[in-house]
Amino acid sequence: MKLHTINTGLFKLDGGAMHGVVPKSMWNKVNPADEHNLCSWAMRCLLVEDGNRLILIDTGMGNKQDAKFFSHFQPHGDDTLLGSLAKIGVAPADLTDVFLTHLHFDHCGGAVKREGEHLLPVFPKAQYWSTETHWQSALQPNAREKASFLKENMLPLQESGQLRFVPREDGAVFSDHIRVHFVRGHTENMMLPLIEYNGQHILYCADLVPSLAHVSLPWVMAYDMRPLDTLAEKEKLFARAVEENWMLFFEHDLHHELCTLNQTERGIRHDKVLRISDL
């Protein structure tokens, strides 16, 4: 079994929205904003070689949207999804599975490409995994999430016959070394894969804990649909992470990939900061 960090580029989001009720005087020290109050964030995916399966977890935002769309999010940096895969010798046709934690554009946009007038799955032989309840909520979004769910990121997966659904069962088996945990604070039934690797467990945090700073319990994004649920979900998973020595993998942190957690007198805090290549 092998794990590979797949960097797909950087983008910008409003600093206040990303940090919720935390004052700018605090979060600006962690991720300084530009003159428009925008902070840069990573779109860090993970490739899992698990037996005869080659599984990509999330895909970044892709490059098929128009200039007006990209002007809002200012994608930058040298990394791309296909470029990062090519660096480790992986071609699009090699993937067997694409695991989409949720269907917000910065997590699934890279799953679909534009060829002329057609929209097609980027990975022609892969099965694309979501959950049925999340899929339905994304197709009929509430007003707050509508701008994040783009049908051009989703419908081509269904139309190609490559869409599959993970059963809504906490701890569901996805592969030999991946179990799935479900959370609903950020969006309906977001999937967090828990990966067993070299005798350790790594929780891919998606948008439950987008960065190292968000390990602090009050740091909950304003984007979350149910922030108090996010708070409770963090508390529950962090307690288990400490007890069972899990590591947390951050999808959006500019600089930090992984951390361990530690119980302190002030509550649970991050401990060691690592990279996948360190394991």
Q: For residue 63, which phi and psi values (nearest 5 degrees)?
A: -135, 15
CA gap 210, 41 in Å, rounded = 9
Give 86's pLDDT tier (boundaries 50, 70, 90): very high
Angle at which helix 132-139 crosses helix 151-159, to 10 degrees, equals: 130
Nearest to 137 by CA among 95, 175, 78, 186: 186
Domain chopping of the chain, boundaries = 2-278
Mean pLDDT, range 250-272, rounded to an integer: 95
Mean pLDDT, range 247-259, rounded to an integer: 98
What is the predicted pLDDT for the residue at 159?
Answer: 97
What is the predicted pLDDT for the residue at 71?
Answer: 96
Chain-centre distance of CA 28, in angstroms? Answer: 23
Q: CB under 8 Å to 128, separation ≥6 — which residues?
A: 97, 98, 100, 111, 121, 157, 162, 163, 164
**269-273: long-range contacts (C-beta < 8 A, 24 or more apart)?**
269/215, 269/216, 270/212, 270/215, 273/212
pTM surpassing 0.85?
yes
Give 25's pLDDT tier (boundaries 50, 70, 90): very high
Mean pLDDT of the chain: 97
Q: CB under 8 Å to 108, separation ≥6 — which residues?
A: 58, 59, 100, 102, 153, 154
Strands across the sheet containing 2-14: 2-14, 38-50, 53-57, 97-99, 127-130, 163-165
| Domain 2-278: which CATH number of 3.40.50.1110, 3.30.230.10, 1.10.10.10, 3.60.15.10 | 3.60.15.10
* pLDDT, tens digit, 9 for 90 and up, residues 28-72: 999 999 999 999 999 999 999 999 999 999 999 999 999 999 999
* pLDDT, tens digit, 9 for 90 and up, residues 133-179: 999 999 999 999 999 999 999 999 999 999 999 998 898 999 999 99
